[in-house]
Amino acid sequence: MKLASQLTVTALAAGFAIATFAALTPAAPKAAFPDPATDEPLAKTSSQQQVVFSGGCFWGVQAVFKHTKGVLSSTSGYAGGTVKNPSYEQVSTGRTGHAESVRVVYDPSQVSFGQLLKVFFAVAHDPTTLNRQGPDEGTQYRSAIFFADENQKKLATAYIKQLDDAKVFHHSIVTQLGMLTDFYPAEGYHQDYAELHPMQPYIYVNDLPKIEHLKKDYPELWVAKK
């Protein structure tokens, strides 16, 4: 394909993506995002803890947490389903019960669990849309937190209540909470997808603004490319 034709196709695709995104994206939060009222202080010693977040397509969620302070790794994958070692094609049918998810491994001496929750709810996705994020629809795109222990569950439950009570969003939060059991890393081509394909129309429209939002509005939690 000639370059001119490639540019035309890309422009048309971007235009379609923008129109679709604008039509499906819910209104922005109506109140400022508070810090969690219930949180733990930073740990005195370095260690590794994990949590799995689900908030629509894992490309953008992974990219956001890759640029979050204290996050040691973020891996796209699948959680919350019944099929062992599912493929992307299987999960995309919506019949395996999995959600596109991101396993976040973090150092609690650098970032608190509450701060990760704030990034998840304020930046990474819209927690008020049931089984949908932007142009993506289905249970595989649901909002969920798969906690690693009861303390994470307690903090997540408290923060959801805090946000709902403060009416930060126009609608109630629909994020599901569940114990982390199995997490299956996604295929290699899904890892770091947003970083590797920044001009892909879907990424450009849906995910790059999230990264910029984190950098601009939460500089204390932002880190440059790792």
What class has domain 3-221? alpha beta
**Nearest alpha-carbon partner for 79 in 60, 51, 105:** 51
Residue with tokens 């299987």: 90
Residues 136 and 129: their CA atoms lie apart, in Å, by: 11
Kindly give the confidence (pLDDT) of every residue in the chain, 226 residues in length, as a single tens digit, with 9 standing for 90 and above.
Answer: 232 333 333 333 444 444 344 333 444 565 679 999 999 999 999 999 999 999 999 999 999 999 999 999 999 999 999 999 999 999 999 999 999 999 999 999 999 999 999 999 999 999 999 999 999 999 999 999 999 999 999 999 999 999 999 999 999 999 999 999 999 999 999 999 999 999 999 999 999 999 999 999 999 999 997 5
Residue 26: per-residue pLDDT: 41
Contacts of 113 (CB under 8 A, 6+ apart): 39, 40, 49, 51, 151, 152, 155
Q: Where are the domains of the chain?
A: 3-221
In the prediction, which pLDDT does 30 show? 55
Question: Which residues have a catalytic role annotated?
Answer: 57
Q: Residue 29: what pLDDT? A: 63
pTM, two decimal places: 0.88
